Structure 1
Amino acid sequence: MAEDKMQTDEAPAPAKDATKPEEKPKTVGESLKAVIAVLESATKLKDTRVLSGRVMRLTAAFRKQLTGEALKAFITGSLSADLESKPFLLGHVDKASAGEDVPMQAEDSPAQPAYTESSTPEVELFAFMLVATYLVDKKAYQQLTDVTTRATERLSTFNRRTLDVIAARIYSYHSWGYESQGKLQDIRSTLLALHRTASLRHDSFGQETLLNLLLRNYLHYGLYDQAEKFRSKAVKEEGVWRSHQQYVRYLYYVGRMRAIQLEYSEARDCLQQASRKAPTSALGFRVAADKWLILVRLLLGEVPERVEFAAPGLARALRPYFELTSAVRSGDLVAFGQVEARHSAVFAGDATRNLVTRLHHNVLRTGLRRLSTAYSRISLADVAAKLHLPSAEDAECIVAKAIRDGGIDAVIDREAGAMVSREQQDVYSSAEPAEAFHARVAFCLDLHNEAVKAMRFEPDAHKGRALESAEARAERLAAEAELAQAMEEEGDDY
């Protein structure tokens, strides 16, 4: 009996997951079929939240695996034969996929799924969007403009809110195609007409996207005054943005405009929000925002910490701006000139050369502040020598301006030709600590107000909540969780 018991105890327990088959990853065709099912369901329910969240998220998931063969199978099976866009799209996919490596099909590999033909505008325009995405990845920009132009013409014949999200993405690709070919000015009148139409139709997604596309168009050519005039007339009311991505882009463009207009405090606030609200995966956008933010902070007299230049994925791109910050912090005019000359091409490509030129005065002011702290009395000739200025007269003018602006606490002894520094006061006896505390409290209050404004509620959510059944509550919580996940994963196209 003891032996039987020992054998029983030592017998291995059956594995629970031994018989469970491993789930195979979905093919592109299966993913496309699932997206179409969600798209048609959301269209019937007129649920724009699902279209802007789940449909776009599922599409981004298989974007890298999208091939010409899978795209042609989808267009052939999903679009109705009487649609003129069907042969048009197939022709562009054939042309773009020419020479594409077709993987060998294994014997047990699943075939393309059987699609159901549909003549709904949402499926047709979704096919246009997929082809445009494929052409962007292939860098076939001339074909991209042809496809998006045809899609824009097709969209003008509909006024359906279920098409707004797809239309906004097509407009983005339309502008991208022209920008990649260096013809961005050719599309400006078209974008203005589309924005006017979107405003008349109360197309929120289209308004937000087209507003940012037009701001980008103006800023690309340095038309800051025109951009501000358009923004002041076309801007949406604060707190009603439907797309988090577009709102972050809008903050970035407004920050750039404010920086050029010398409104540095507002520019810093906008650029800080844009950098913080951008998803961590949007490295390109964060780099662009941080470059402008660094220069604006330097112009305000602030010096960014070294750790801000060492963020993962940003250190290499921000290297020229780190060297520039080091030169400004040291107040060395020669080092500043060397950095400016060495990285002039980078600053020109980033459209920040104007701000870099303005930093020349900040370098002088920093150098003067260091001298006024180190010396209680120093001749203007020595000031000119240490700051590499042409003469003592130039040094006197710069010192006088710094005293008038409050940059240094000193006086000029004209008879002796010297700068006399006053005794440093205790900073805690001044209003500076109170001002710093006030700025932090104001930031926390603004953050709270923005969080409240960003909350989304269903229409008439306050009605009937007390009589909500358990099943309805479970569905509502699931929808809210899905929306939260969608917002968290936004930013694939930054």
Structure 2
Amino acid sequence: MATLQASIASVEEETLKGTKNSLKTVFEIAAAMTSDDARAYQEKHTSAPAKYLVALVLCCTYLKEEKYIEALALAKNTFEDIGGGNSRILDGIVARLWGVARIASSKTGEDMLEAYMLALAINREYKNTESITVLINAALLNLKEREMYDEAYTFLKHTKLPEGADVGESSVFYYLSSIVYLMAGEYATAEKTITQAIVKSTNTAFTLDCRKVYVLASMHQGKHPNRSFFQTHHGLEHYQKVLLSIKSCSLEIFYQAAEDSKDAFKSDGLWQAVLRLEGAVQKEHVRRIGTVYSKISLGAIAQMLGVSEESAVFLLQKALSEGVIAGFIDTEAREYVSTEKSRREQQSLKIEEMLGIANTLTMLKKHEEAKKKTLEEMKTDMAYNEYQM
């Protein structure tokens, strides 16, 4: 095959550029060949680095033919053959071989975590950027599949992507990291991280998976994406139903909505994160109580929430600390007192002050008296300007 011969010629240059050029069409070559064809090339090329490239092509044909045991065995043998001869020139080939090993091991059920960690240490010595990134993602995927989120969190705290990491692999890293943070209860960090994954993503299907995590991270913080968000980004219907159930402030409705889409959430690997949203239901209920009532007894709040009075106090304190509601708990009177109205008035006063400063600056700039506009006039102007935009 002419394309494979050209790739072999490129890798035999033994330069970084040559290796990169040789890898551009590897997957297309494997898609057009059978494992028998690839083995025939393997017999002809027995010297490095050509034999490593051919081994990679053969591994890919094994994956295509669902011969996962053979693919994993060949990848392992190639790693042993490369051994101390590993170098930055072979980085691209080694990285893709580890990708093969990850896919094959997930199909065969073999635990490769220890191998990933050992290889990660070795490749860090050689500063092999591509291999390091692939191995970090492989380790995170391994821990995620086994739901070992505490271990994944510890690993993540001592890991960072190398400079110049591939954009695609970087987006996968941020996606996996966001799930770990989500399960650790660090929802703001999860939202920030998944946003980075969305920005770097170049695949539509993968971007959709990222948006699912984004929606969950937002809902856990009490942020509710609006209807236009779901209309713009299709494929999030199950998550929209969960959001609507949260807004109902009913745990019964929430559990039913979660159960109705259980298979979809499990398929996304986010079932546990969805179940944890029961706290968001209570948070939304507390927010509404704090907004509607200026003063209400703790017993009445407990009855509305369907919890004990002690639990109601805990939920109120948590909502107050997070800024979900504004007020205080009167322990002597055993009631909650809202200060939402005064907070809104303060915000309104701040707006008036800012408008006053704006009018003053306008007058100074023009060196002439300027008629001070009222708040209503300024709002009308702003609305008109937004319409013009």
**TM bracket (short chain):** 0.7 to 0.9
Identical positions, percent: 20
Indicate the residue corresponding to 2:144 in structure 1. Answer: 219
Which of 275, 282, 285 is the equivalent residue of 2:198? 275
Structure with max Cα Rg: 1
Partner residue of 2:62 out of 135, 139, 143: 135
2:24 paired with 1:60: no
Structure 1 residue 42: Cα displacement: 4.9
Q: Summarize the Cα distance change of 1:49–1:321 in structure 2 as closer, same or farther, 3 Å threshold.
A: farther
Q: CA RMSD in A?
A: 3.2
CA distance in 1, matches of 2:318, 2:123: 51
Using a 3 Å threshold, how does the CA distance of structure 1 residues 56 and 177 change in structure 2: closer, same or farther? Answer: same
1:204 aligns with 2:136: no
Cα drift, residue 298 of structure 1: 1.3
Output aligned runs, 1:85-164, within 5 Å.
Answer: 86=43, 117-156=44-83, 158-164=85-91
The CA distance in 2 between the partners of 1:229 and 1:398, in whole Å, is: 29
Could you report, residue by residue, the CA deviation over 1:69-125 in whole angstroms, capped at 9, with x for unpaired residues?
xx534542x44xxxxxx3xxxxxxxxxxxxxxxxxxxxxxxxxxxxxx544423322
Question: Within 1, Cα distance between the matches of 2:134 and 2:190?
Answer: 21
8 Å Cα contact 2:87/2:128 also seen in 1: no
Partner of 1:402: 319
Aligned residues of 1:241 and 1:247 also touching (Cα < 8 A): no
Q: Under a length normalisation based on structure 1, what TM-score does the superposition of the two structures give?
A: 0.62
Query: What one-letter code is carried by the residue in structure 1 that aligns with 2:6?
Result: A
Whether the 8 Å contact between 1:126 and 1:166 is mirrored in structure 2 is yes
Letter in 2 for 1:358: R
| Partner residue in 1 for 2:278 | 360
Residue pair 1:43, 1:162 contacting (<8 A) in 2 also: no
User: Match for residue 255 of structure 1?
Assistant: 178
- Kindly state the Cα deviation for residue 136 of structure 1 after the two structures are TM-superposed: 1.8
Structure-2 separation of matches of 1:270 and 1:395: 32
C-alpha displacement at 1:165, in angstroms? 0.8
- Does the alignment pair 1:173 with 2:173? no
Gaps of 5+ in 2: 355-389
Greater helix share, structure number: 2
CA distance in 2, matches of 1:124, 1:375: 75
Distance (whole Å) between structure 1 residues aligned to residue 317 and residue 167 of structure 2? 47
- TM-score, normalising length from structure 2? 0.76
Cα displacement (A) at 1:214? 1.6
Q: Pick closer, same or farther for the CA change 1:165–1:300 going to 2, 3 Å.
A: same
Residues 205 and 243 in structure 1, CA contact (< 8 A), matched pair in contact too = yes
The CA distance in 1 between the partners of 2:190 and 2:274, in whole Å, is 15
**Mapping of residues 240-389 of structure 1, within 5 Å:** 240-281=163-204, 283=205, 285-310=206-231, 314-315=234-235, 318-378=236-296, 383-384=301-302, 386-387=304-305, 389=306
CA displacement, residues 370-392 of structure 1 (integer Å, 9 cap, x when unaligned): 233334455556545544x1466
Aligned residue in 1 for 2:114: 189
C-alpha spacing 1:411/1:231, structure 2 compared with 1 (3 Å) = closer
User: What is the alpha-carbon distance in structure 2 between the residues aligned to residue 376 and residue 249 of structure 1?
Assistant: 47
Shift of 1:268: 1.4
Contact kept, 8 Å, 2:137 with 2:172, in 1: the verdict is yes
Instruction: Indicate yes or no: 2:6 matched with 1:37.
Output: yes
Secondary structure of the 1:166 match is helix
Look up the equivalent residue of 2:65 and give its one-letter code: K
- The total of aligned residue pairs comes to 349
- Is the 8 Å Cα contact of residues 377 and 419 (structure 1) preserved in structure 2? yes
8 A Cα contact 1:129 1:170, kept in partner: yes
For the structure 1 residues 310 and 182, does the alpha-carbon distance in structure 2 shift closer, same or farther, using more than 3 Å as the test? farther
| Deviation string, structure 1 residues 125-145 (Cα, Å, up to 9, x no partner) | 222222222222222222222
Mapped partners of 2:221, 2:17: distance in 1:
41
Larger RCO, structure (CA 8 Å, separation 6 or more): 1
Q: 1:277 to 1:49 in 2, by over 3 A?
A: farther
Task: Report the CA distance shift for 1:249/1:393 in structure 2 as closer, same or farther (over 3 A).
Answer: closer
Q: CA deviation at 1:279?
A: 0.8
Query: Which amino acid letter does the alignment assign opposite residue 402 of structure 1?
Result: A
Contact 2:75 2:98 (C-alpha < 8 Å) held by counterparts: yes
Q: Which moved more, 1:117-126 or 1:199-208?
A: 117-126
TM-aligned CA deviation for residue 273 of structure 1: 0.7
**One-letter amino acid of the structure 2 residue matched with residue 249 of structure 1:** V
Aligned to 1:23: none
The answer on whether the counterparts of 2:6 and 2:22 sit within 8 Å (CA) in structure 1 is no
**CA 1:408–1:153 in structure 2 vs 1: closer, same or farther (change >3 Å)?**
same
8 Å contact 1:328–1:336 — kept in the other structure?
A: yes
CA displacement, residues 327-370 of structure 1 (integer Å, 9 cap, x when unaligned): 22343333212223333444445443443343222212212222
Alignment CA distance shift 1:131-1:381 (3 Å): same
CA distance in 2, matches of 1:304, 1:296: 11
Return the alpha-carbon distance in structure 2 between the equivalents of residues 257 and 383 of structure 1: 34
Native 8 Å contact 1:39 1:51 kept in 2 = no
Contact 2:296 / 2:336 at 8 angstroms: preserved in 1? yes
Mapped partners of 1:160, 1:398: distance in 2: 56
Asked if the contact 1:412/1:420 (under 8 Å) is kept, the reply is yes
